[in-house]
Amino acid sequence: MRTLLAWVSEHLKLQCCKETLRKQLHRMGFAYKKARKFLKRAESAERSTYMMVLRQMLDEARRGRRTLVFIDEAHIHQGLDPGLGWGKRGEPRRV
């Protein structure tokens, strides 16, 4: 799993330490927080919209217009905590 620090270095061509990046993200209104499951408690309208988008993506993948990557959720938690990450302060971070 790539870190945000590696992404900043590669894409923005900036070299900084974790603390500098953390302080800048806080200044920009972001907070480090745990994600919440989205679809489990989603409203039926939100769920319908999500399923419509998902069907379109699957259709595009079948026609060779989109590449989709599947990650088996059963093994993703081994040694990792994918629920933590940066999100806009005051807004829920959803997975």
Residue-wise pLDDT tens digits, 53-77: 889 999 998 998 988 876 555 544 4
Calculate what percentage of the chain has a pLDDT beyond 90. Answer: 5
CA–CA separation, 62 vs 56, rounded Å?
10
Confidence band (pLDDT; 50, 70, 90) for 44?
confident
Question: Is residue 93 within 8 Å of 85, Cβ to Cβ?
Answer: yes
Select from 40, 39, 22 the least CA-distant residue to 31: 22
Within 10 Å of residue 20's Cβ, how many Cβ atoms?
A: 13
pTM above the 0.75 mark?
A: no
